[in-house]
Amino acid sequence: MSDNALVPSTEVPLNDAALIPKLTRVPLKGLPSSAFQHPLDRQATENLKKIKGFDWLVGKFIEYGFERIDYITHIGDGIRVGPRQMAMHYQMLRECCDVLDVAEPELYVMQGDVNAYTSGHNHPFIILQTGLLELMDDDEVMAVIAHELGHIKCGHVLYKTMARGLKPFIEVAGKATLGFGSIVGAGIEAGLSAWDRRSELSADRASLLGVQNVQPCIKMLMKLAGGTTRHVQGLDSQQFLNQARAYKEGLDQKTSDRFYRFMANMGSTHPFPVERARALDEWVGSPDYNEILSGHWPSPMPVVKMKSCPTCGLQYPLSELFCAADGTPLPVH
């Protein structure tokens, strides 16, 4: 990170609910999502669009009004954050939108576990659950908000909403189409799940760009992995980062371990927190990150050599060993 990227703020808070004293963050006006989108997210998105019937299922999802139902449910069951309602969190949202150059979405707080998510492709809104607000400090909550704005900026929201409600939607579509929707949906579910996990890597990068300090991002991931309010003083983010680095080095040695890691991830909506911390640790030390903070976006991504799944034909980087859609071993190069 460049030395002049962060400087002490002299701005006087407008009210008592304003943010605690902080470092001034560099606004990234005109930042394109392509500048920070993770290559695995980009490739998973392309693979998803190639799956037969996916466009049809997306159209049905919109046609049946699932997005509107989701919105009505949330605005009726949460607190909308604004200038006079949880004003500190509203200021966090506004600053992150400013930094990442994202139009301000609605922000709600709902009772729930340690979780946050974004919904509403045409009318985006962010949900912070109370368990997360209890566990995270203010900087970590801001990192979460920036993460969710990353999903909006990268155009993830429609697919993320589908991923959360896919099973009941497939049932409805199946009944309305004499079973055709169920057949199509079964093939899409695995591909959408694989994309869902990889989209988180891009949103993590947006989180780092939003707060421009890697520590809250790593601490946030550490608490998602195993944080408790009672034992928060005993947590050490540097030890967690060491664990993340050792995890990659240890499990990349054997093909069998890489296969077990692949299988363990398949049933999850997110990559393991240690994997996300390791990916963020690698990116914060990269030239791309520092160039973005300096106002220079990376040049278009170079063409990456890929290999095809022999079963479904989806494309993957040469480092991948198994197809995320059907588990087929990929050719070794």
Buried b or exposed e, range 291-308, using 16+ CB within 10 angstroms: ebbeeebeeeeeeeeeee
Written as one string, the DSSP assignment of 241-289 is HHHHHHHHHHHTS-HHHHHHHHHHHHT-SS--HHHHHHHHHHHHTSHHH
Instruction: Say how many CA atoms lie within 13 Å of 239 toward its Cβ.
Output: 4
**CB-based contact 216:142 (threshold 8 Å):** yes
d(C-alpha 271, C-alpha 265), whole Å: 6
b/e sequence 187-216, b meaning 16+ C-beta within 10 Å? bbbbbbbbbbbbbbbbbbbbbbbbbbbbeb
Quick one: DSSP state of residue 38? Answer: -
Three-state DSSP state, 146: helix
3-state helix, strand, coil in the chain (%, to 5): 55, 10, 35
Decide the pairing of beta strands 7-8 and 125-129: unpaired
Q: Which of 148, 189, 200, 275 is catalytic?
A: 148
Residue type, 9: S
Q: State the amino acid at position 201 in one-letter form.
A: L
Task: For strands 116-119 and 125-129, give the pairing.
Answer: antiparallel
Active site residue 134: no
Closest alpha carbon to 318 in 328, 310, 308? 308
- Catalogue the active-site residues: 148
